[in-house]
Amino acid sequence: MTELVVNTKCGRVEGFVENGISKWYGIPYAKPPIGNLRFRRSVACEPWKDIKKCTNFGPRCIQFKFPSSTKETDSEDCLTLNIWRKNNDSKNLPVFIYIHGGYLHNNSGSSTAHHGDHYAREDILFITFNYRLGPLGCYDFTIYNKELFDSNCSLSDQIMALKWINENIEAFGGDPHNITINGESAGGASVLALMTSPSAKGLFHKAISQSGYPDGHHFVKSNKILMDMFLEYLKIKPEEVEKLKDMDIKKLKSASQYVNNNLSKYPGIFWPSFVYDDLLPENCYDSLRNGSANGIKLIIGSNKDESTFFSMNHECPITKNEIKKMFENNNLMEKYPEIENYYFKKCKRLGLSSCFEFGTDYLFLLGCTEFADIQSQNNDVWMYRFDYMPPLLRAVGIKATHGIDIYTALKNMDTLGYIIWTICKPSSKRLLENYMFGSWVSFSKTGDPNGNHLNISWEKYNSEKRKTLLFDKIPSLVENPSKKKIELWKSVGTHQFYK
């Protein structure tokens, strides 16, 4: 887009050009969630009069997990979005929105891993945005006080960003009738949540969920366990929860870390995440069955060895005692012997004391499969599994772990100099980028991931054959690759715990 000053419904914004790409960084899409708006859902941004210079990223939202390794500024005033597109006058460009991951507790839309230059060069308008994290975004204090707190603030931020994009993206040359949302990990879970939220209906048309976990939504039981732990650390009684409204961020960070450190007491409960409320009024699978995502085309999948990443921080059940306790806590002990027999006999043969396969299946495979089974009944769905193991990760036993697909999907391996890929052959990197990035580009433009970038036809998914594309040095299409495990868990009767 050669005109860099754009009129939005909130005011004029001015971008810049870099290497043939027009960019607008740090555009506000909502009112700053500070003061009385802390712990409240998003409010539409207020208009401004002057031209707003959008040449620098806005602050990241407050980070609640990993210590920062960058010089980026963190702030509660963080609800901004970023736009990339080719510097020409083309109109009606496909719109591709990337929702960052990070446990819903860290990361941002400005991370170099998420930059959109490569998509822009493919004549796609690429967008990232920030949303509130941790206690400020996804902790549900409404169980103590509904007057002063809202639930699912981070999800409300995401919905507000989508509304802003629908209302304004045409002014940037984007097509509001061709919007794809994509995310990985917590971003992938966000994609699935948005598909099942009535408040997001009609705001996008296609979806790609990478390593999303629909079962990460918290029911009443698990949510209360987590919120009670949070208050316990702060020595706040439930009736005193209003003290959080002006509490120092450092204390909120410490309490959040305390919750994480004590998750092992309840194997199978993950970090605080989305909760069921008016934004998510139904169990996600029931919502799909009732048509919440009718008309939305979906690519969904996960990585072959997801849980090796989480096991490093002991964030998912992988030992026999942990898994047994998880079944005890949920009154499912009569089903435990079947699980033990399947997973730990295999682990014993491999000489392992922990079963990473269980963590991968419990966190990702089962939920993604059920989600795809239901959505594919009336809509186009494509399933994948990322199997490629970078040499470094293969050598240390981490294999095709969680998160490594981000860099192939966004084609940002070389720009990052990311250590995982540094000893990977350039030819292998290019092939993987072509396969995954090419599929996402094709899907964004046409609604079909197939094209010249693949040397194989990626067939649509259905619950009978469950055809799955395996991303590897040479992609292959496999029928029902996890059939035995899916049947095993059907005999258990559920993969949703702590209801």
Query: What tens digit of pLDDT does each residue of 324-346 get?
Result: 999 999 999 999 999 999 998 87
pLDDT above 90 as % of the chain: 83
Residues 98, 101, 107, CA angle at the centre, nearest 5°? Answer: 100
Q: Which are the contacts of 417, defined by CB distance < 8 A and separation ≥ 6?
A: none
Mutual orientation of helices 483-492 and 336-350 as an angle, nearest 10°?
150
What's the domain range around 347? 5-492
pLDDT digits (tens, 9 = 90+) for 109-163: 999 999 999 999 999 999 999 999 999 999 999 999 999 999 999 999 999 999 9
Domain-located, residue 49: yes
SS3 state of residue 248: coil
Q: Provide the percentage of residues in the chain whose pLDDT is more than 70.
A: 96
CATH of the domain at 392: 3.40.50.1820
pLDDT at 353: 62
Helix (H, G, I), strand (E, B) or coil at 337: helix
* Alpha carbons 128 and 82: distance in angstroms, whole number: 5
Q: Is 497 within the bounds of a domain?
A: no
Strand ranges, E, within 149-203 = 174-184
Query: pLDDT higher for 429 or 22?
Result: 22
Give me the helix-helix angle, 153-168 and 186-195, nearest 10°.
70
* CA gap 496, 330 in Å, rounded: 10
Tokens linked to 496: 């949703």
Q: Is residue 359 part of a domain?
A: yes
Does residue 486 form part of some domain?
yes
Of 122, 261, 127, the closest CA to residue 187 belongs to 127
Q: What is the arrangement of strands in the sheet containing 381-386, beginning at the earlier edge strand? A: 16-18, 21-28, 80-86, 125-129, 93-99, 174-184, 206-210, 297-303, 381-386, 467-471, 476-479
Distances (CA, A) of 42 to 143, 204, 388: 20, 19, 39
Helix (H) / strand (E) element for 171: namely none
Q: What are phi and psi of 154, to 5 degrees?
A: -65, -40
Give the burial class of 497: count Cβ atoms within 10 A of its Cβ; 0-12 exposed, 13-18 middle, 19 or more buried. Answer: buried
Longest CA span, the chain = 69
* Whole-angstrom distance, CA of residue 279 vs CA of residue 297: 21
pLDDT(4) > 90: yes
Question: What pLDDT was estimated at residue 413?
Answer: 74
Side chain identity, residue 315: E
Q: Is residue 298 part of a domain?
A: yes
pLDDT at residue 280, as a whole number:
96
Query: Count of domains in the chain?
Result: 1
Report pTM: 0.97
Which two tokens mark 428?
Answer: 């292998």
Task: For residue 346, give the H/E element and its range.
Answer: helix 336-350
Domain presence at residue 498: no
- Could you give the CA distance from residue 474 to residue 428 in angstroms, rounded to a whole number? 10
pLDDT(69) > 60: no
The answer as to whether 313 is a domain residue is yes
Note the pLDDT tens digit of each residue in 189-209. Answer: 999 999 999 999 999 999 999
Question: What is the rounded CA–CA span in Å between residue 346 and residue 201?
Answer: 43
Residue 353 lies in a domain: yes
C-alpha pair distances (Å), 343 with each of 27, 167, 320, 348: 49, 50, 9, 9
